[in-house]
Structure 1
């Protein structure tokens, strides 16, 4: 089972909890797909796009549940990133955990499956 991850503001995720589906953040809606990361990519994604931002969650997602709508495509540095070309059903979520900022200013990540 491939596990992929989404870094998302808690306030935005609250809306998804109410509806049972996550339609994406502003950048996802603009780009036409939901940006996800592998465990190896998530830390760098947080550094580049969420530096210093509090109130974030790390959401782990079962890639098998997403099926063919989950596509791995070249992105940053030619690395293959998971992109979801559909709304994210919360039934695919394995867990969600806070992504606090540590004393060094970087986000503190929980243990993640590859």
Structure 2
């Protein structure tokens, strides 16, 4: 099982749990796909795009279960990032982890699978 991760406001994730599907954040909807990161990419994604934000979850997803809708595309420094073109079936989610915000605005990132 290959893991990928989504940083998500807790409120958006709770709505996904109520509706049974995650359609993406405002940024995802704007870009036409759901942004994910690999384990080694999460800390930099959090720093660049979520610094100072509170109330975040880190959603762990089984990438292998997403099929052809998941594409690996170049982004930051031509590094390949996982992008999901479509809705995230909650059955692919393996864990929902709290991302605690430190006083300096950075986040505690749990140990992740690469």
Normalising by the residue count of structure 2, what TM-score does the alignment of the two structures yield?
0.97
Q: Which runs of 4+ in 1 moved over 2 A?
A: 102-105
* Secondary structure of the structure 2 residue equivalent to 1:112: coil
Count, aligned residues: 114
The answer for the alignment partner of 2:30 in structure 1 is 30
Residues 1:48 and 2:48 are matched in the alignment: yes
Deviation at 1:105, TM superposition (A): 3.0
- CA distance in 2: counterparts of 1:75 and 1:53, whole angstroms: 23
Q: Provide the residue aligned with 1:77 in structure 2.
A: 77
Q: Which residue of 2 aligns with 1:19?
A: 19
CA apart distance, 1:103 = 4.1
**CA apart distance, 1:20:** 1.2
Q: Does 2:88 match 1:93?
A: no
Q: Which residues of structure 2 form unaligned runs of 5+?
A: none
Match of 1:108 in 2: 108
RMSD: 0.8
Larger CA deviation: 96-105 vs 38-47: 96-105
Task: List gaps (5 residues or longer) in structure 1.
Answer: none
- TM-score normalised per structure 1: 0.97
